[in-house]
Amino acid sequence: MTSNYRQVAGSDGKPERDAYGQPIERAPTVDHVTLRQRVTVSAGGQRVRIRLSNYYGLAPLTVSGARIALAANEASDPSAIAPASDRRLSFDGGQRSITIAPGSEVVSDPVDLHVPALSNVLVSLYFAGSARLADVHPMEQARTAWTVDGDATRAASLAHKTAATSLPGDHIYLLEGVEVEAPANTRGIVAFGDSITDGAYASAPGTTWPAVLARLAQRNGKAVAVVNAGISADELTTDQIGAPGAGMAGLKRYLRDVVDRPGVTDVVVLFGANDINRGIDAAGYPHGASVGDLIASMRMLADIAHQHHLRIYAGTVTPFAGFPGWDTPQREAVRLRFNRWLRHSGAFDGVIDFADAVKGAYTPPPLIARLSPRPAGMARVCAGDAGLHPNDRGYAVMGTLAYDVLFHVKLQPPRACH
């Protein structure tokens, strides 16, 4: 999760700014509405609960009612539930409503519900009064949220009900997780990173590399749950000042988003590109983090993981030489030195060489075209944009490689990048 706010506009239509020149932003507020959200569960089980967050909230947040159900699997209506699977959720041993203190999370009481692996579930939350939705994941690859007037938590569909607000439908609000009671031998893998883990330019939620990893594990009979803890634009070493939607630094959210999650056994870390491009330098300016800062940060993640008896795998930073504005020799030098350390430091339980897997023929910008030797770039056939983020083909390559390293096998992706 991260926090997401809307800019406050003045009477002239321009954003209001604080004393430091930063735009004033506030969390969106809803009142007397139902919020229904659709998410995918990687591991199956017979009991389920949800986790709600007001971690970034500045005031108590009251949820007046909550329900969970399996999706009806109607492509024409993703808000539809399977009525026979509809369950009321309670809190604190049977309470229908819950008030979440600022800076806190709550977990519902578990309910009996057969949830198949890789199935879609719908969580419906009703707010009888005013509620400020400060906690949100701001980028999904499909419509995931619907808000309608009144208490519609039991409605079979929200497709034809009155929309209560203009909240973006490709966000996830308050819902920190859907947790399934899985067998004790289930391997819990958290994919921890930025937009490449989040799935920028993926065509659907099921085509991100963590989703590919989860699908391969289920297909091959592995007892595995995969959590995608990627946040687009996030950095490992520092917060992005003035961009709350980018989330706090990976170092700060590591315990909450990875280590403290129930059932976690492994973490795959893929960070560094945003830090190299605009991390804080030695003078305190956002001109790019140093190799030393990146190495120290990754070593800290490895040490913490091992202290908590978790396995940790490092992903190498994928090439970005073809992406305009990022393609400088200085940034490429930092990427190469950082990746060299990741591969050879011995600090991790394994290294997933994403950088090598997605490199290939690309169209270099003029400055890069003059360099000899030419730096590696993301293969054109695996790039979703000009060479920073993968497309579905690239994510399939990455997810297959992650599966191979974590499970010591040698599967091949449907189509390689080079």
For 250-260, what is each residue's pLDDT tens digit? 999 999 999 99
228 with 9: CB under 8 angstroms?
no
Q: What pTM was estimated for this model as a whole? A: 0.93
Is 414 among the domain residues?
no
User: What's the rounded Cα separation, in Å, for the pair 25 and 18?
Assistant: 10
- 36 with 158, same domain: the answer is yes
188 with 261: CB under 8 angstroms?
yes
**Identity of the amino acid at 124:** S
Question: CA dihedral defined by 273, 276, 279, 282, rounded to 10 degrees?
Answer: 160
Is 71 among the domain residues?
yes
**Identity of the amino acid at 353:** D
Query: What's the pLDDT at 315?
Result: 98
- 267 with 365, same domain: the answer is yes
Q: Please count the structural domains in the chain.
A: 2
- 251 with 383, same domain: the answer is yes
- 235 with 358, same domain: the answer is yes
In 116-195, beta strands by DSSP E: 119-132, 135-137, 145-149, 172-173, 175-180, 187-193
- 304 with 198, same domain: the answer is yes
Query: What's the pLDDT at 17?
Result: 64
Query: What's the pLDDT at 135?
Result: 93
- 364 with 221, same domain: the answer is yes
- 173 with 227, same domain: the answer is no
- 162 with 215, same domain: the answer is no
Over residues 222-250, the pLDDT tens digits come to 999 999 999 999 999 998 766 777 889 99
Among 145, 177, 209, the domain-final residue is: 177
Is 416 among the domain residues?
no
User: What's the rounded Cα separation, in Å, for the pair 1 and 220?
Assistant: 30
Copy the structure tokens of residue 23.
């735009």
Is 258 among the domain residues?
yes
Is 83 among the domain residues?
yes
Among 177, 210, 244, the domain-final residue is: 177
331 with 338: CB under 8 angstroms?
no
Query: What's the pLDDT at 12?
Result: 59
Residue 171 belongs to what domain range? 2-177
179 with 42: CB under 8 angstroms?
no
Over residues 33-80, the pLDDT tens digits come to 999 999 999 999 999 999 999 999 999 999 999 999 999 977 789 999
- 147 with 112, same domain: the answer is yes
Over residues 271-289, the pLDDT tens digits come to 999 999 999 888 888 889 9
Rg for the chain, CA atoms, rounded: 22
Among 139, 156, 177, the domain-final residue is: 177
Is 413 among the domain residues?
no
- 156 with 188, same domain: the answer is no
Is 415 among the domain residues?
no
Is 153 among the domain residues?
yes
- 197 with 148, same domain: the answer is no
Share of the chain above pLDDT 70, in %: 93
Q: Which of 221, 222, 242, 220 is nearest to 233 (CA)?
A: 242
Contacts of 331 (CB under 8 A, 6+ apart): 276, 277, 288, 320
In sequence order, the β-bridge partners of residue 294 are: none
Query: What's the pLDDT at 9?
Result: 44
Query: What's the pLDDT at 74?
Result: 77
User: What's the rounded Cα separation, in Å, for the pair 289 and 273?
Assistant: 10
Contacts of 76 (CB under 8 A, 6+ apart): none
- 94 with 61, same domain: the answer is yes
Q: Coil, helix or strand for 39? A: strand
388 with 335: CB under 8 angstroms?
no
**Segments of the chain with pLDDT less than 50:** 3-10
**Identity of the amino acid at 351:** V
In 95-139, beta strands by DSSP E: 98-100, 104-107, 111-115, 119-132, 135-137
**Identity of the amino acid at 340:** R
- The CATH number that applies at residue 232 is 3.40.50.1110
CA angle 380, 384, 388 (to 5 degrees): 80
Q: How far apart are the first and last CA of the chain?
A: 34
